[in-house]
Structure 1
Amino acid sequence: MRKKIWMFHKVNDIPLRSKFLLIYVLSILLPVITINLFFYQRTSADIKVREQENLRKSMERAAGELLGMIDESVALSRMIAADDSLYEALDRTYRSPVDYYNEYHGFLRDKLTRYMSANILEVRIYTDNQTIQTGSHYIVMDQGATSLPGLKQLEKTSGGIMVVDYNETSGFNPGTRISVIGKMDTYDSYANYAKYSKIDLEVSRVYSILNRETDSLQLRLVDGTNRTVVSSGDITEGNSGALVDMPMTGDNTKSEYMIEKSLGNLAYLKGWKLIGVADTRHLDQLLEEARNSILGLLAISIVVPSVLIYIILRSYHYRVRKLARHMEKVRNERFDLIDIHEGRDEIGGLIRTFNMMIGMIHSLINDVYKLEIRQKDLELDRVRTELSMLQSQMNPHFLFNTLNALLVVSTKNGYTEVIEIIKSLSLLMRQLLSRSDNLIPLQEELQFTTLYLQIEKFRFGELFDYTFDIDPEATTLRIPRMSIQPLVENACKHGLQARKAGRLIKVTAKLSESGLDVRVIDNGIGMDEGKLTQLLRDMRSDQPLDGGHVGLRNVYRRLELFYAGDVNFTINSEAGTGTDAGYHIPYARLELKE
């Protein structure tokens, strides 16, 4: 067990790139090369075996056709030897050439014609009857040119028939001859003269049989003395050829592409055989095609998996290396996120987990900083609160005592309008100082807004007026405190102050199908599209406002705080016409008055 654990530890010590390379070489490259080499060897062996079988079949086919031609000639020779009428005509002693020619024209001239066929070139009969005239199919033998080829060998045979080959130099068709010669001694009563038959095979037919296999095989017909009688490709029909002494011994007989086929074991074919030498160009072409196919398959088998393995391993290696580098940064207290395509595999899961961890670390660090800042802010707030408490011990009492004194003086002197304004201002200040910042009924917010509008009405007199359009069912709904009055104040300050007369503010609160709509509409100077866009941008930013509108930002922030972004705050304005500001609160976020 310890040994196995030690081996695993050793594997863990190998770099990731070396592991991938080792896996590629041992699991892909070597097996693919080995399998393709084995497949090539087996394919080459199969091609050689198949070609040898084809050669054997070609040899057997050619040998069978040649043997058929010879057997046909032997059968014809025996038929001639059994014709007694022919014996009687050839064994007769003619008194004069005129008698012979009469017999010839009457009987002998067409006697041998019926034995002719496509495989037979010529049929002749040789005799030592001197009363016969040499010509056509009948030859009188002598020691000269009219001697029978192979006569000495025929006399030595016991079968009375044999196959001979020789070079014909006389006549109209000189060249190689393959002939079947036989004794005509069947009838003892016609034995006054010696008689022999000679049947010449059609050599062009022999060439056509041999040349039929020239695409894959070079054939040679060899006689009993190891002389090449006919060879494929050496002669064509109508040309002459000669016998060539070519002994088939030595290195030629050891070639794996040379095949010998005996024509038979009969006495007249003793030693005759067919030798075939394979045309290695055809075999080499087949082997080359097999080799090219194997090489192409090998290339595909290596390139395609290599590309896929490279893409896959590069994906793993690249992301693991990124992860390792960022973990090294964490060691150096640099908490950077891994900004790459993570993927959905295990490495992608590690990267996502790492980024989540880094995000949590950032959050914890920010929380720590915020806690420190908050602690400092709390300390400052505590100091400010103490100072404010010291100041507030006097300011509210002083303010309300002063307002009460003004109220007593105005009552004694009969200043009715001043009395109402002082009462409204006193109620306004008490609500500002006494109420907390939370949700209140819409009715209370409208009352507070009414106090402010009464003061503005006192300021502008007949130049200013206001109206309310409130849905009765909406008065009990709770909204954030100070969410309408700042909108009214902003309309008075920025919209109506520059207008000379006819200043009007309308406050509406309606229930729609989706929630509560609160709008503050004025007929002031309004804003063009550029100023409105800049106002909306400033209202949503944290930068200090240079041009005022602090109340709008406060209302927007308070609505966002209470309703977590579910409220829809809008401002619509047109230069020279007026401004419409307000918000929409969904029913799901509204509360009834307790």
Structure 2
Amino acid sequence: MKKIHFNDIRIRNKLLLIYMFSVFLPIILTNVIFYNVTSENVRTQKIHDNELALRQVATNFKQGVEDAVGIASVLYADAFVNKLLDTSYDSPVDFILAYNNNFRDINKYTPVYSSIRSIHLYTDNPTVITAGGIFSIDQQQQSSHWYQSTSEFRSKYPVVTRKLANDGELDQFVVVRALDATGRSNNEKIVMINLNERFIEQLFATETFEGKIYLVNEENNIEYSTDDSMLWRSSYAAYDAVDLPKDAILFEEEYDVQYMSNWKMVGVIPEKNLLAEVRNSIPSILYLALWNFVIPTLFIIYIAGNIHFRLNTIVRKMRKVKDQQFELIPGKTFNDEIGVLTREYNRMTKKIKDLINDVYIVRIQKKDLELQKKETQLKALQSQINPHFLFNVLETIRMRSLLKHEKETATIIHNMAQLLRNSITWDRDFVTVREELQLIHAFLEIQKYRFGDKMQYDIHFDDAIEHVLIPNMSIIPFVENASIHGIEPLKAGGIINIVVEQAIDHIIVEIRDNGLGIPKDKYQTIIQSLHEEEIAGERIGISNVFQRLKMYYQEGFDVQIKTRKDHGTTIILKIPMKADDVAY
């Protein structure tokens, strides 16, 4: 591999390299380092702040539960409450008197603690009236979620759980404890402390924690969450089923109290949230970096542009020298190195221009010879078509005369005369569409005279393009091939359809026959011959027409040949139509 030397680099690129390594890269590296350091510091601080925020939520929730646990413990040891629920009453009046004397006092806890909504007592004592905060432990209660989930441990210590609403959704948090301090009660007694829903919602709705919060119980189910995308309210959802972001940062606060053993508060924050503020400052960093780029960039661009323009002017003039265009560099010449180079170039160019003046004249003459050669080639292509075409016409008349032994030649001679007149007018490179179609009509009449009812033809053209000029005899060779090679082998029923229409800025010519079609190998040979730049040879039909059209229109024309065995051949010729190609 060739090594690139520093001196091989253009001056403009050298200046750009100086700018890149002296200005651009130092500024970029400085800003990247500053951004990374700032991002890491902000990230660390955000993590610390969110840890404190989650810890505060966990502590407040624990405090609310402990308030309920404390009340449950007080009622657990309250002899009056136990007596109220254990006594067998002779009449409802006796229970009401006992209720007014004992139970009303426990309602004093509700206004004191904002986390407590209400206190309910449950008993299976049949003489107790279930009203005013006292409920019967019937079969419905025994099958409820709160009763079943606390049955194992509520006699030992308070248990935190959730109630279920009538529709099966998770309801408020409750603290449940069995009331049997003496252990001698014949009745089952349970106290339920209902936590305030508003207290829970306000507790979890803290704005200081920037992610989602999940309260997970000992069975790894979600008791409460700020993630509204999950249906955790309708039923218990497993925390493992949460679709956490790949870059999520987890915060956990575990509870070590007996009544919430193995419970934990989990906070989830996507990494992007921690750096949101830093990323919001990116525009300011970019504006600052852009300002540092503007002044040196404009200066470098001006200097590099000035040098590049002056050197490029000299290079462009020197490249024209190889095409024998000896142009002087105009304008004032300066005293720097580029100015000296400009003066020396002008002096050299003027001297060379004087020395090769004679050679330049000879070159012009050579160009004229080349143009004459092109014209000769065009005439040669045209002359190849006429003999081939006239031969076929004369052979047709001769064979018809020999076979019929009659002189029905008036019409055919008229058509032949028209063909001969056109054949000797090669000084006209272009004819109108109508003239070309008249020639085709004469040819097909001759063919019809030859084949009789074996061949029919139909010519349709748009009257709007009848005066448009097209290359002389550019369509008839395709019609000739359709007649000779397509229809002649048929025994009967030969049809040739010719349609000439205008399509925007082109003339579309479609020549369709129902003959035998072109064999595959011959078709490939024809297609290949269209791209061979030969002037003479055996293929003097459509290939020569193709070459003529290419000389006239370059790549602006198109010839398509579609054929199918025993189904005929279709030629589609696309000829450009210019505004000045109209004869009146």
Say which one has the larger Rg.
1
TM-score interval, smaller chain: 0.3 to 0.5
> Under a length normalisation based on structure 2, what TM-score does the superposition of the two structures give?
0.47
